[in-house]
Structure formats: structure tokens, C-alpha cells
Amino acid sequence: MEKIKIGVIGCGPCGMAVVSAFNEAKNKGQAIPQLTFFEKQDKVSGLWNLTWRTGIDEYGEPVHGSMYRYLWSNGPKECLEMANYTFDEHFKKPIPSFPPRIVLQDYLLGRFEKCSQTGHSILFNTAVRNVAETDGKFKICYEDLKTKQCSDDTFDYVIVATGHFSFPNLPYYPGIETFNGKVLHSHDFRNAAEFKDQTVVLLGSSYSAEDIALQCVKYGAKKCIISYRTNKMGYNWPDNIIEVPQIEKIENKLVFCKDGSTHEADAIIFCTGYKHHYPFMEEKLRLKDATNIYCPKHLYKGVVYEDNPKLMYLGAQDQCYTYTLFDIQACFVRDIILGKIDIPDRETMVKSIAGWYKRCMTITSPAEAINYQRDYLEDLLTDTDYCSKESNSKIAEMLNTWVGYKKENILTYRDKCFASPYTGAMAIPLTKDWFYCLDDSKESFLRGCQ
């Protein structure tokens, strides 16, 4: 019998989770399908590859990267630890709970190396241009970015793992064209040191605004002014970070807020989030809705495309859980493809999606979002194996504790230690408070971990 063919678009953490999931099946002696990955970068790990580029890359492609220098994990590493590859296994010694980007990438790559015996192929420097479905088969058209050669291939299943934190949501503010200073979206933010001695206005009040404001003052910005549309973050900010209501207009160097206050700024950073963007999917296969914690309204169990269950989207929701969620989703998708999980009829799918979506729309606090995602993953874990439901619950508990630490003191939450949900081993503290750790190299970080 011919092997089932799976085309996976993107080889960031979600694509890498697919490799690990099938590797687990192979280790158990199961026959696995033929996996082909299309990756437009020249290496795996998606956003975790730091790039200095903004705008377009060397091939004229939109730059995928949204991460920046000096980025440290914004959640405890124990909440994204991979069940089949613990931090202790990788680093061979305990490390602190909040590592810099490069350390988490190192870990990601370690697991990938260990769990990569699936015989898969990865086409690097290859951008998928079009995915179309006819008679139950998917045709993927792709371009080799180096040679500009376009080719196509046919697949039984398609897994979209291209991420959704790369295509900026960039609203208009009246008068912004008169602003005498730098204007950028967080997607293009690369180095906080650039804003030394400056007053920076950040638009938006979520993870990017929070972290970029902290980064800026950590590396010498004079002041950060965070403008919120709906709610303040309300953290115990240092004196040089303030929160102000929505900006109504901008004139030269001045920004005017809804509450009548005026502020002078040197730079404006749009931290207004990202949009789902799958231009390469033919219209009937394309996710279009805004992101939320469940994800667009058309994914059964958060992954299976309602209109065509042989198409899956991974990691398409906003995330409290990250690597753990990607891994569990990948195991779930693997078991559908291996015929271990049945896809119900459309009516049942629609009902299931509606139930999760309805609850998602009632979420009003971080704790509700965390517990929602815990329950969602627990639901997947009923049908697939990855980690125990107890470990999943422990992760939610830790995420709730982390939210509390942030409320207590936004400057010190990264100094806290958590325990592994799998081994119980406790992290060690940073040798110096995070706010004073200006060197984010792997060497410097691991040197402190004797």
C-alpha cells in the first residue's frame, strides 16, 4: 500500500512538534506516513531564530521574525517543558525558570535532534505559494527562494504550522504622518538600546507592550508611555513607565490622549498585535477570523478544519500554554492521521466548536484564560497520549502563580523559581536580578548555573 503523504507548512515549534509526535509513534513500532516540510527560512525553530532584518529578507520575502535582542522567556520554562525531553536531560543541570531566547531555542533544537528519526524531509528556503484541494487531494505549489524555481506536489493531508505572530495589525491614528520620530510595529522591534534616553509611546496593552516597555527602560530609555484601548495592564510599574488611555491624535512630537493629557514622544511603537495571514491557502481552505484563545471559529478541537478534516492548523490560537500545546495538538493530529481518533460528522464538529467558542467568549481574566486552555488540552489528552492530565493541571497552576507574581512586581517576576511538572526538580535562581542581567548570551546564562 502506498504511504500516506503529509505536507507540513512551516517548521517552527509547531512543525517541530509534528516531527516529535510521529517519532514517538515510530518508536512504538507503528508505520508512519511520509512527511514533507516546507520552510521558508534556512533553518528550523521559526520565531526563535533571531534576525536583524526587518521588512523583507534577502530573497524579497516578508521577514518572519518578530523576536528581538535581549528577549527573555515571558513565562516559566517549566510551563513549556516538553514531556519527552526535560530541561534536565538537555542541560544536564538545573537552570533558572526564565531563560533568554537563545537558551530556549537551544532546548528546542536539542529535542528536535533527539526526536527526528522519522525519515522526514525539510525543504529549506522554500516558500509555499499555493495550496488547493481537488477530489480529496491537496496540491502544494512551492518556490525555491534561491533558484526561483516553482514546483508542486500532491498530499493526502496538509498541516499548516506557519504561526500567527508575524503579520502586523497596524491601525491608523490621525496625524501620525506628522510625527517627527521613528514609528514602527513590534514585529520590527529589534533592539531596545536604540531607544536609550528617549521617550517611547507604546500603543496596545498586552504582552508586546508590556515586554517592550520593560526592555526599553532596562536598556536606558528615559520614559515609556503605554496607551491602552480597553483596559490598563495595571502593573506595579517603575516610575518611568506610565499607562494612559487611548491616543486620539498625533501632531508633530505630541500625542493627545482621550483623557485630555498630552505627551511629547521620540518614538511610537505599535504593539497592536498580529493577524492570521494565510495568503497561500486557497479561499475555501483559509482561516480568516480574528485570533482568540480558542482560535478561529472553524477548527474542530482547535486544529481540524471544519470544511475539510484532512487539513489541520496547529498553534492557531492565542497562547497561555506554548510548546506543550503545540506538542499535544501534534499528537492529536498524528492520531487522527494514523486512524486512532475518528473525526465525527459535521454536525457534531460544529456543536463541539460552538461549545468551546461560547465559553471562550465569556473569558474576562487571565486565570479564566489559563484554565480554559488547561481544559481544552485535557480534552485532547482524553484521546491522545503526551503527558498526564495531572501534569497539564500542574502547568495551569504554575501559570496562575506566574500571573500573581507579575501582579506583585512586574520587575521581579522573572527572578522566581518553578518546579518541573514532570520531574518535580526545582529551578535555581538567577545569579543577579533579571532587571540587571544585561547580557543575554547562552554562555553568560549557563555560567551562573553551577
Minimum CB distance to ligand NA7 smaller for 337 or for 403: 403
The item of ligand FAD, ligand NA7, none sharing an interface with residue 73, based on CB under 5 to 8 Å by kind, is ligand FAD
Kindly state the smallest distance separating residue 186's Cβ from ligand NA7, in Å.
5
User: How many CB atoms sit inside 10 A of residue 92's CB?
Assistant: 9
Radius of gyration of the chain (CA): 22
39 is a site residue for ligand FAD (CB under 6 A): yes
Q: How far apart are CA 291 and CA 322, in angstroms?
A: 15
Cα 191 to Cα 46, 272, 335, 435: the distances in Å are 19, 18, 42, 16
How many residues interact with ligand FAD (rule CB under 6 A)? 31
Residue 373 binds ligand FAD, judged by CB under 6 A: no
Find how far residue 420's CA is from the centre of its chain: 21
Q: Which residues from 144-203 bind ligand FAD, rule CB under 6 A?
A: 161-163, 165-166
| 46 contacts ligand FAD (rule: CB under 6 A) | yes
- Closest separation in Å from C-beta 7 to ligand FAD: 11
Question: Which residue has 492530565 as its cell numbers?
Answer: 389
83 touches ligand FAD by CB under 6 A: no
- Nearest alpha carbon to residue 40 among 5, 3, 10: 10
Residues that bind ligand NA7 (CB under 6 A): 74, 165, 169, 171, 186, 203-209, 229-230, 271-273, 319
Q: How many Cα atoms sit within 13 Å of 392 on the Cβ side?
A: 21
Contact partner, 371, from ligand FAD, ligand NA7, none, Cβ < 5-8 Å per class: none
Choice from 34, 74, 130, 198 touching ligand FAD (CB under 6 A)? 74
In the block, residue with C-alpha cell 514546483: 151
Kindly report the backbone phi and psi dihedral angles of residue 355, in degrees, each rounded to the nearest multiple of 5, phi listed first: -65, -50
Nearer to ligand FAD, 123 or 363 (CB): 123
Angle 164-300-283 from CA coordinates, rounded to 5°: 55
What is the SS3 assignment for 131? strand
Among 32, 35, 47, 203, binds ligand FAD (CB under 6 A): 47
User: Which of ligand FAD, ligand NA7, none does 161 bind, CB closer than 5 to 8 A by kind?
Assistant: ligand FAD
- Residue 73 C-beta: closest distance to ligand FAD, Å: 4
Please, what's the b/e burial string for 8-17 (b: 16 or more CB within 10 A of its CB; e: otherwise)? bbbbbbbbbb
Question: Which residue lies nearer to ligand NA7 by CB, 32 or 183?
Answer: 183
Asked if 232 contacts 243 with a C-beta cutoff of 8 angstroms, the reply is yes
DSSP state of 308: -
CA angle 288, 49, 52 (to 5 degrees): 100
Q: Residue 14 binds which one of ligand NA7, ligand FAD, none, with CB within 5 to 8 A depending on kind?
A: ligand FAD
Q: Is 175 left (phi over 0), alpha (psi -120 to 50) or beta?
A: left
**Applying CB under 6 A, does 218 fall inside the site for ligand FAD?**
no
Selection from ligand NA7, ligand FAD, none that 12 binds (CB < 5 to 8 A by kind) is ligand FAD
Rule CB under 6 A: choose which of 32, 40, 233, 305 binds ligand FAD.
Answer: 40
Please report, as ranges, the residues that interact with ligand FAD according to CB under 6 A.
9-15, 38-41, 46-48, 64, 66-67, 73-75, 80, 127-128, 161-163, 165-166, 280, 315, 322
